[in-house]
Amino acid sequence: MTLLVLMGCGPAKRASNPSSPLSDAPPNEVSGLSIPAGRIDDAVAKVDGLVGELMKNTGIPGLAVAIVHGGKTVYAKGFGVRDVGKGDGPGNKVDADTVFQLASVSKSVGATVVAHEVSANVVAWDTPVVSKLPWFALSDPYVTGHVTIADLYSHRSGLPDHAGDQLEDLGYDARAVLQRLKYLPLAPFRISYAYTNFGVTSAATAVAAAAGKSWEDLSDEVLYRPLAMGSTSSRFADFLARPNHAVNHIKVGDQWEARLQRDPDAQTPAGGVSSSVNDMTHWLTMVLANGVYNGQRITSPEALLPTYTPQVISVPAASAKARASFYGHGFNVSVTSSGRTQYSHSGAFGSGAATSFAVLPSEDVGIVVLTNAAPIGVPETLTAEFMDLVQYGRVTADWAALFKKAIAPLNNPVGSLVGKQPPANPVPGRPLGDYVGVYANDYWGPATVTDHDGQLQLSLGPKNQTFDLKHWDGDTFTFALSNENALPGSISKAVFSGFPGAMLNLEYYDSDNLGTFTR
C-alpha cells in the first residue's frame, strides 16, 4: 500500500532519468543553485555601470578594480583621480597600475608569505612564536609558551581587539609595541576572537626571524618578485616613491580632502602593503590556483589551505537560521546564500583608504577593489554586487546602504564628551602647579604634564606628542585627538585624582583599564 501511495496509486513504471546528472563532487562542495554558462561574463560586463553609480553617489576621488577568472585577468580598470587637489588631467587619473595602500588586505597577502615558509619547512603554522622570538611575552605564561603563528594569524590568542594600535599612533615602533603586549589582559585562549594588527605582526615577525630576514625583504623575495608584482612593497617609503600612487582622502563636510597620511610600517605585515590592481591579479590568480603562478609553485596546497578555510568563529550566528562567519589565517571565510564558500578581506585606514577583495573558489573567480577614500563601504559594496551578479544574475540587496551603516562608526570621533558643551559654571581647578609632574605607566610609558606659560600641556610617547589640556570641571580636563584611531573631532577626558601624590586617568587610553598614570 505504501508503494502504491508513493507511486500515485497507479501502476508501477520505470523511473525516468533525472533532468540533470548527479554531481560527482563531494556533497559539501556542491551548491544547490547552478550558474549558467556566460553568467560570469555578463557580470563582468556590468562592472563599469556599478562603479559609475557608486562614484556618482559617494563622490569618492578614485577607484581601481580588477577581476580574475579561469586563470586570466578579465577586467582591470581605474576610475577617477589620484589626488583631488591636482585636477582631472591625464597625469592625475587612476589606472590599473595606480598604487594604493592595501590596509588590512595586507593580512591575506602576508598569510601567503607565511604559507611559502611553511611549504619550505622554515616554520609550521603550529610553531610557537616564542620559539622564534625569545623576548616575546603575553600576560599569561601558559599562553606565552603555547601561542602559535596560527593562533595569532586567526586572532584567537586572547589579546584585546586592536591591541597595540594606540601605541603605534603614539609613535612606538614595532618592537616596542610587541614588547608591551605582555601588559594587556587576555580573554580565554583559542576560544575568543578579537581582531589584532599587532597579533598578526607578532606572528609575521617570528616567521621573518626564522627565515633570517626582515619581513619586508622576505615578502619581496618569496612573493612579490616571483609573482612579478613590480609595484608592490611592504615599505611605506616605496609607496611614497611611486610616481603613480593614490593619495588618501577623508570626508570634510561634503568634500573629499587629502589631509592625512598613514605610515603603517610598524604593523606592515598586518596593514603595510601597497599595490596596484594589476599586481593583485597575479596574487589572486596564484591563490585560486592553489599556490601556482605561471607554472611556478609559490606555496603548497597544504600550507595554503588553512589560510582561507575556517579556523575560528569570528561572528557567531545571531539566530538558528543565520549563518556564522569565520576567519582562517588572514582571510575572512563565509558561506553565501547560494551555498558557496567565499573568502575575502577588507582594509580600511580612517586617514583615507578602503580596499576589499572577494573570491568564489568554486567558480574560479575573484575581484579586488582599491580606493583612495576613507571607509564608507564602497569596495565592499562593489564586491558584493559583483558576486550577486555571478551567483544570481541580479543584485539581491541594497549593499551600499547596508555597508554604509555598518562602517559609519569607524568615521565617528571618539570620546564621551564629543558633542557636549562645557559646564556653564565649572568648579575651579587647582593651581596649575599641583598637576605638573611625570606620571608613570608600564604600558603607555610616562605622561608628562607641564605648565607652559599658563597652559597645561600633556606629552606622551617616544616622540613626546603634546596636547593642550583644557579645563572642563574641577580636576577634569580635556584634550583633542587626531590620529588613525581617533579622527578629527575626537576628545579625551584627563582626570586628576589622589592628591597630593596624584593620579591621572586618560579616557582615550583606558579601554583595557590601563589608562591610569601615577605620579
Tell me the C-alpha to C-alpha distance, in Å, between residue 247 and each of 63, 73, 82, 142: 11, 26, 6, 44
Query: Is residue 290's pLDDT more than 70?
Result: yes
Maximum Cα interatomic distance, the chain, rounded to a whole number of Å? 104
Residue 476 CA from chain centroid, whole number: 35
| 453-487 pLDDT, tens digit each | 999 999 999 999 999 999 999 999 999 999 999 98
Query: Is residue 112's pLDDT more than 90?
Result: yes
CA distance 55 to 59: 5
What is the pLDDT, as a whole number, of residue 333? 98
What is the pLDDT, as a whole number, of residue 162? 98
Sign of CA dihedral 82, 85, 87, 88: positive
Cell of 128: 610557537
CA distance 235 to 496: 41
Tell me how crowded residue 424 is: count the other CB atoms within 10 A of its CB.
5
| 228-287 pLDDT, tens digit each | 999 999 999 999 999 999 999 999 999 999 999 999 999 999 999 999 999 999 999 999
- Whether 350 and 327 have beta carbons less than 8 Å apart is answered as no
> pLDDT tier at 20 (50, 70, 90 boundaries)?
low
* Architecture of the domain made up of 29-411: 3-Layer(aba) Sandwich (3.40)
Query: Is residue 24's pLDDT more than 90?
Result: no
| 303-354 pLDDT, tens digit each | 999 999 999 999 999 999 999 999 999 999 999 999 999 999 999 999 999 9
> pLDDT tier at 117 (50, 70, 90 boundaries)?
very high
Percent of the chain with pLDDT over 90: 92
- Whether 490 and 477 have beta carbons less than 8 Å apart is answered as no
CA distance 224 to 205: 18
- Extents of the domains making up the chain: 29-411, 432-518
Tell me how crowded residue 106 is: count the other CB atoms within 10 A of its CB.
29
CA distance 92 to 77: 15
Residue 112 CA from chain centroid, whole number: 16
Helix (H, G, I), strand (E, B) or coil at 456: strand
Nearest to 368 by CA among 350, 352, 347: 347
> pLDDT tier at 6 (50, 70, 90 boundaries)?
very low
Tell me the C-alpha to C-alpha distance, in Å, between residue 346 and each of 24, 115, 292, 379: 34, 20, 24, 8
Tell me how crowded residue 72 is: count the other CB atoms within 10 A of its CB.
10
Q: What are phi and psi of 300, to 5 degrees?
A: -75, 150
CA distance 268 to 302: 25
CA distance 169 to 263: 10
**Choice among 6-15, 220-229, 265-274, 502-511 with the minimum mean pLDDT:** 6-15
- Whether 74 and 284 have beta carbons less than 8 Å apart is answered as no
| 369-417 pLDDT, tens digit each | 999 999 999 999 999 999 999 999 999 999 999 999 999 998 899 999 9
Tell me the C-alpha to C-alpha distance, in Å, between residue 435 and each of 203, 461, 479, 495, 508: 41, 19, 15, 10, 19
Across-strand partners of 362?
Answer: none
DSSP letter for each residue of 177-194: HHHHGGGS--PPTTT---
DSSP letter for each residue of 91-132: GGB--TT-BEE-TTHHHHHHHHHHHHHHHTTS--TT-BGGGT
**CA–CA–CA angle 258, 259, 265 (5° rounding):** 95
| 162-218 pLDDT, tens digit each | 999 999 999 999 999 999 999 999 999 999 999 999 999 999 999 999 999 999 999
Q: What is the pTM of this model?
A: 0.94
Mean pLDDT within 507-518: 97
Q: What CATH number does the domain located at 432-518 have?
A: 2.40.128.600
Cell of 174: 614595532
Percent of the chain with pLDDT over 70: 96
What mean pLDDT value characterizes the chain?
Answer: 95
- Please provide the size of the chain in residues: 519
Cell of 159: 589579546
Left (φ > 0), alpha (ψ -120 to 50) or beta: where does 330 sit?
left
User: Is residue 16 packed enough to be buried (19+ CB in 10 Å), middle (13-18) or exposed (0-12)?
Assistant: exposed
CA distance 92 to 246: 9
What is the pLDDT, as a whole number, of residue 427? 97
What is the pLDDT, as a whole number, of residue 14? 36
Across-strand partners of 2?
Answer: none
- Whether 377 and 407 have beta carbons less than 8 Å apart is answered as yes
